[in-house]
Amino acid sequence: MYQADSSRLTKGSGLGLSISKELLRVNNAKISVSSVPNIKTVFTVEFAM
């Protein structure tokens, strides 16, 4: 993982999505993303019942 926009003043560690992905994996869940560049990004998480 990396920060795509290098012009930002604040730096992140890039771990947020990696941690989320692992938590979802161990819970047999799924994550998906839909993005409209420069407008919005939507993350959807699905858990099995």
Residues 1-49 pLDDT 10s: 456 667 767 666 667 878 888 999 899 998 889 999 889 999 899 998 8
| Residue 15: predicted pLDDT | 78
| Residue 38: predicted pLDDT | 86
- Any domain includes 25: yes
Domain count, the chain: 1
Instruction: Name the one residue in this structure whose structure tokens are 């604040």.
Output: 10
**Predicted TM-score (pTM) of this structure:** 0.53
Residue 27's domain spans which residues? 16-46
- Any domain includes 38: yes
Angstrom distance (rounded) from CA 22 to CA 20 = 5
Angstrom distance (rounded) from CA 42 to CA 32 = 8
Q: Tokens standing for 43?
A: 């993350």
- Any domain includes 22: yes
Q: Tokens standing for 25?
A: 């994996």
DSSP characters for 2-16? --S-TT-SS---S-H
